[in-house]
Amino acid sequence: MSYSPGLKDIVAAETRLSHVDGEAGKLVIGGYPLEGIAERATYEEMAHLLWHGSLPDAAALDRFAGELAAGLALSGTSIDILRNAAKERRPVIDAVRMTVASLPSTDDAADARSLVTGLPIVVAAYWRLLHGKEPVEPDPVLGHVANLLYMLHGEIPGDERVRALTTYLNTVIDHGMNASTFAARVIVSTRSDFISAVTGAIGALKGPLHGGAPGPVISMLEAIGDADNADDAERYLRKKLESGERLMGFGHAVYRVRDPRADVLSRAARSFFADEDELYALALHVEKTAIELLEEYKPGRRLQTNVEFYTALLLRGLGLHPDLFTPMFATGRVAGWVAHCMEQRSVDRIFRPESRYTGIESNRWTPVEDR
């Protein structure tokens, strides 16, 4: 049996949901090239596409959006978890993971709706509780993404902000067999429920090598910006690389060229920064310098900008705090996780790879007093 660390190059599932072409830098979601759909569709349309295999007509969209909106009011248990977590100042993504775990599981269809409707409610409610404010109830007249911003800030958001956040959530909705999606599929493969699967997926997403990267991207830009000298970008990045650290927002397990999601998000982010905005200009400079240095330090590895670099800028442009970046990623990815849960359910085959034993086999028992 061959051993592939990280299951690299192993095909673990078939999917019709998304295709990542790492050499060409192409991402196809539900049959549509990313750049043809992410900036146009609503989140509800994208979820329908992934769950039902096609974009809905007007009547089907109305019905689907209505079913989602009717999805959930948080139970007393979930609210208690949020309030207690806020008292203990738990990180947002941990409070989200705990609260998602508390959602009642009934059947797959109801769980799917609860998860997609529930994540924005949980994120927004926790953010408000953390800042001494009461949660805002969703407004049934608003769409999914407008509601998310409304529940966060307590104000009806403008169209431009809704469009930009929708583009972000659509862009990250699905991405092949990434670590969090794989985690969700492994859990469903045991015939466990979708709530458990998405709870596990959130745990996988939060790591800095996956969805935890955009917060550190902003910290990096701020640290370089503080130095108010463009040469410091190079000095700062070199120091990181020489101490063996990874540059957040660069490199990808699959892409060997620029992540196509970075292009979509940089377009969306640009509209929130006037041309002369220092942070955006600094980001462009840091991006260029980082790519040159990565080629110097890791020649031939073809490390390029990934989705998280421009996620950080776009979400920052929308006025969101970095602590909300990974929870926002989860809010976008959740419909994709659920779609994979549905696919995995129909496959109904438990994941059980082998491991290669590297320990010894001849130890003999010694009583504790003799060790």
Choose, by CB under 6 A, the member of 19, 52, 153, 210 that binds ligand ACO. 210
Does 307 contact ligand ACO by CB under 6 A? yes
Burial class (CB in 10 A: 0-12, 13-18, 19+), 32: middle
| Part of the chain binding ligand ACO (CB under 6 A), chosen from 17-25, 47-55, 140-148, 299-307 | 299-307
Does 252 contact ligand ACO by CB under 6 A? yes
Residue list 308-337, contact with ligand ACO (CB under 6 A): 308
Distance (Å, whole) CA 14 – CA 175? 13
What residues act catalytically?
252, 308
210 vs 345 by CB, closer to ligand ACO: 210
Choose, by CB under 6 A, the member of 168, 236, 250, 280 that binds ligand ACO. 250
DSSP state for residue 253 in the 8-state scheme: S
Distance (Å, whole) CA 264 – CA 174? 15
The stretches of 25-107 forming alpha helices (DSSP H) are 34-37, 43-52, 58-69, 76-87, 92-101
Does 213 contact ligand ACO by CB under 6 A? yes
**Structure-block tokens of residue 70:** 């009717």
Q: Hey, what amino acid is at 302? A: R
Tracing tokens 């994540």 back to the chain, one arrives at 119
103 vs 324 by CB, closer to ligand ACO: 324
Q: What contacts 23, CB < 8 A, 6 or more positions away?
A: 256, 257
Does 253 contact ligand ACO by CB under 6 A? yes
Q: What contacts 299, CB < 8 A, 6 or more positions away?
A: none
Choose, by CB under 6 A, the member of 303, 315, 338, 341 that binds ligand ACO. 303
**Residue closest to ligand ACO (Cβ):** 251
Does 181 contact ligand ACO by CB under 6 A? no
116 vs 290 by CB, closer to ligand ACO: 290
| Binding residues for ligand ACO (CB under 6 A) | 209-211, 213, 246-253, 298, 301, 303, 306-308
